[in-house]
Amino acid sequence: MTILYNILLYLLAPFIFAKLIWRGFKADAYWHRWPERLGFLPFVVAKPSIWIHAVSVGEAQAAVPLIKALRQKYPHYSIIVTCTTPTGSSRIRESIGAQVQHVYLPYDFPGSVGRFLHAVQPHLAIIMETELWPNLFAGCAQRNIPVIVANARLSPRSARRYAKWKKFTARVLANVKMIAAQSLLDEQRFIDIGARHEQVQVTGSIKFDVQISGSIVEKAQVLRRSIGNNRSVWICASTHAGEEEIILQVFKRLRVMHSDLVLMVVPRHPERFAQVAQLCRKTGFQVALKSEGSSDLSQIDIFVGDTMGDLPMLYAASDVAFVGGSLVPVGGHNLLEPAALSLAIVSGSQLFNFQEITQLLLEAGGLKLVQDQDELVEAMQAVLANPHLRQEMGEAAKKVVEDNRGALDRLMALVDKLMDHSK
């Protein structure tokens, strides 16, 4: 099966690079740093290292507290952080760039993987969430590099896909030392696709361990004063194509009842920033972009977050949050960032990637789910018209975050155990 996998991988190679070229027309960062994708590093790893892979923005953000904990616990080790997307790369460089060495993860070609592992020679490999690469994991096993799949989750869709190739998936997972699952549901799904029972341990989601720095809150306060502290701010974050149109229609209807309401729109992908800004301008409302850096936003109606790395600050400047990828079949995005900031959260119902977190927030009363535009108007009207309800929802959401902290400590205990064994 491995031979067949590699044959298929090489046959797909021209299409893989053609896709990079195609995506580069929307975001030219895809045209750069190709040697890294083939395992050629632009630096020399001079010290013993720990390697962390975070595929894109969400995983990179979740990895930040882990990286900080590793740097504190293992100061004599280089921390190597890989990702696969330009947005993930930007997030890593903006948040922790000076503290780590960063490259793209090479494609899973045997030669590329071999070059990368020979150059990095990590004492430990930590793969965030669910990235299962047969040649990469086999290469780690051959070099006695222990692998942890950390903050691991498996959506129903992914579980069904892996289950179709259970024997092959089981062989891939056999090269993993430990799977630190986010939930009991994730634990069972990993076992169902071939992981051994003793291989999987529920540690919880380290996204609950999110910490919002004082400097972010201070920047948010400056932004909020510029908009007007007496106005209500509704942030719609990590939005996808098809959602902005719905949100803008809802905003038009809400403005009839709440004339001081300001809408913040933060698209998930930077290649859509300009497109979404143009869509907002077509409404006739007064629009400002974060990239413009205006210090007076008192007359705006819509604010477009078109810069990378500013989402926590924009959340902190808001009153009510909608988290995207939930009115379209994407599966949702991180609900815990707004929850940690005591924001009332209104979301679409397509949150299949965050089932347990969704359930916790719903049971606590920190989250309202909607199916369509009319329900979104109704839910937002209820929250905006009742400051007491808004406060109660925000406090309930934050309590969920506070009550579920500790996953980072449990994950670090696993890391310590494997680091001791690898020395």
Question: Can you tell me the distance from the alpha carbon of 338 to that of 332, in angstroms, rounded to the nearest whole number?
Answer: 14
Q: Which long-range contacts (CB under 8 A, 24 or more apart) does 188-196 make?
A: 189/154, 189/156, 189/159, 190/152, 190/154, 192/159, 192/163, 193/154, 193/159, 193/162, 193/163, 193/166, 193/169, 194/162, 194/166, 194/167, 194/169, 194/170, 195/170
Residue type for position 160: R
Q: Which residues of 393-421 are buried (b: 16+ CB within 10 A; e: fewer)?
A: bbebbbbbbeebbebbeebbebbeebbee
Question: Which parts of 129-181 are beta strand (E)?
Answer: 147-152, 178-181
The catalytically annotated residue of 59, 129, 243, 244 is 59
Cα 375 to Cα 384: distance, rounded to the nearest angstrom: 14
**DSSP single-letter state for residue 183:** S
386 contacts: CB under 8 Å, gap ≥ 6: none
DSSP 336-354: HHHHHTT-EEEEES--GGG
CA nearest neighbour of 130 among 55, 52, 39: 55
Residue 324 CA to residue 384 CA, distance in Å, equals: 19
Based on the residue annotation, tell me whether 59 is a catalytic residue of this protein: yes
What amino acid positions are annotated as catalytic residues? Answer: 59
